[in-house]
Structure 1
Amino acid sequence: MNAPAKPSFADIAQAQIEAYNAQDLDAYCAFFTDDVTVADLNGAVSTKGLAAYRAKYAQVFADFPNNRAELLARMVVGATVIDHERVDRGTGAATFEVAAVYTFAGDRIARVDFVK
């Protein structure tokens, strides 16, 4: 009997976007390491640790209940996934685009660097 295939980094990145769009905080946070770091690319760290990350996205989901991210492009290089995303807060305001650079440790995301 063959073991189930291990999900690829692209599969995990896709699943976390789907959990984000479903605003399923528990499922979304399960994709990140306990010491996850979020920063602007080449800039300051904005969030450190899963508890702070969870609190941040609990607030985002509360403030923007119709928030959605649309994947425009994806590149995978080693243990890094780079997504080009369009975000719609669902408020009628203009959408905006980001590049999210997800760095993996094992099968979870350890760092996210945003280009805004």
Structure 2
Amino acid sequence: MTAAALNPADIVQGQLDAYNAQDLDAFCAFYADDAVLAGYGGAVTAQGLAAIRERHAKLFAEFPQNKAELKNRIVVGSNVIDHEFVTRSPGGETFDVAPIYTLAGGKIARVDFVK
């Protein structure tokens, strides 16, 4: 099944699974070439697939046991809002985050992170 044939929840779940597996190629496959990552109501932190790839390669190298546990998901049209609990490493830093995914053309076009 191609990404374009998946519904928004399936696309977001696929990228979350790839994130947790630290499979950079699979993770990036869910993002549009011109995708944007940003803080909620704030500054853009990564623009374009190359920047997203670079950011996550560094994250995966720095935190090889990093995991995001899905606590709740809301789907409204082509938007998906997750509540995730992130653990950087066993006994390490933890935090809650609410990424708001905007999808277009079967890919993630933008993610706004509420922390």
Q: Which runs of 4+ in 1 moved over 6 A?
A: none
- How many angstroms does 1:33 deviate by? 0.4
Q: TM-score, normalising length from structure 2? A: 0.94
Q: Partner residue of 1:56?
A: 55
Are 2:75 and 1:76 aligned?
yes
- How many angstroms does 1:95 deviate by? 1.4
- Per the alignment, in what secondary structure is the counterpart of residue 54 of structure 1? helix
- How many angstroms does 1:106 deviate by? 1.2
Q: Aligned partners of 2:37 and 2:90: how far apart in 1?
A: 25
Q: Partner residue of 1:3?
A: none
Are 2:111 and 1:112 aligned?
yes
Q: Which residue identity does 1:42 align to in structure 2? A: G
* Structure 2 gaps, min length 5: none
- Per the alignment, in what secondary structure is the counterpart of residue 14 of structure 1? helix
* 8 Å CA contact 1:101, 1:114 repeated in 2: yes
Trace 1:27-106 onto structure 2 (pairs within 5 A): 27-106=26-105
Residue-pair matches, total:
111
* 8 Å CA contact 1:37, 1:49 repeated in 2: yes
- How many angstroms does 1:88 deviate by? 0.4
- Per the alignment, in what secondary structure is the counterpart of residue 15 of structure 2? helix
* Structure 1 gaps, min length 5: 1-5
- How many angstroms does 1:7 deviate by? 1.7
- How many angstroms does 1:111 deviate by? 0.1
Trace 1:3-42 onto structure 2 (pairs within 5 A): 6-42=5-41
- Give 1 or 2 for the bigger CA radius of gyration: 1
- How many angstroms does 1:97 deviate by? 0.3
Q: Identical aligned pairs, as a percentage?
A: 59
